[in-house]
């Protein structure tokens, strides 16, 4: 039996390699996979890019993403598989890094993916902060509501 992890030199690490890349999203088994067209991928990347910034709303990203996928007019059995396959193309920068760092097969359903995505990019502490901001809002004397 050969060594599963042969020693690597520093030069091995300096060259780009696709070895070891595993998809974090595990697609359902079956032959009902619809091929993704390059124009569909570009549409998702251009219309639904989520970077993982604090100023971005992950809930709105999911709404926009689902609206776009719904416009593809897929039959029901292909819909979840297509959502899972296209989601990789809707995230970039920090959000893409988060997705790629997860273990292989972390998600097998759309619900699993969206639950983890929202817990990462819209954690409970953010909801608490927004609630506190609303509760502590004050309109100062002499200022209109829009100025406050």
Give the residue from 113, 1, 76, 88 showing the smallest Cα distance to 36.
88
pLDDT of the residue at 141: 76
Q: Which residue has the tokens 């893409």?
A: 96
- 0.85 exceeded by pTM: no
Q: Are 50 and 86 in contact (CB under 8 A)?
A: no
- Report the pLDDT value the prediction gives residue 94, as an integer from 0 to 100: 93
- Give Cβ neighbours of residue 137 (< 8 Å, ≥ 6 apart): 148
pLDDT reported for residue 98: 92
Q: List per-block mean pLDDT (blocks of 10 residues) for the chain, which spans 148 residues.
A: 62 58 65 72 87 90 91 76 89 92 87 91 68 71 70
Torsion sign, CA atoms 19, 23, 29, 31? negative
Beta bridge mates, 21: none
Could you count the other beta carbons within 10 Å of the beta carbon of residue 74?
15
Q: Sketch the domain layout of the chain as residue ranges.
A: 22-122
What does the pLDDT read at residue 142?
74
pLDDT recorded at residue 127: 63
């Amino acid at each position: 039996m050969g060594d599963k992890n042969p020693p690597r030199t520093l030069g091995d690490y300096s060259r780009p390699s696709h070895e070891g890349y595993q998809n974090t999203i595990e697609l359902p088994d079956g032959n009902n996979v619809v091929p993704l067209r390059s124009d569909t991928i570009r549409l998702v990347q251009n219309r639904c890019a989520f970077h993982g910034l604090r100023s971005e709303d992950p809930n709105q990203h999911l709404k926009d993403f689902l609206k776009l996928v719904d416009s593809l007019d897929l039959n029901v059995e292909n819909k979840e598989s297509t959502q899972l396959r296209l989601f990789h193309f809707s995230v970039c920068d920090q959000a893409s890094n988060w997705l790629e760092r997860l273990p292989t097969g972390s998600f097998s359903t759309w619900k699993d993916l969206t639950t983890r995505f929202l817990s990462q990019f819209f954690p409970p502490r953010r909801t608490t902060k927004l609630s506190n901001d609303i509760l502590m809002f004050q309109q100062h004397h002499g200022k209109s509501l829009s100025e406050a």
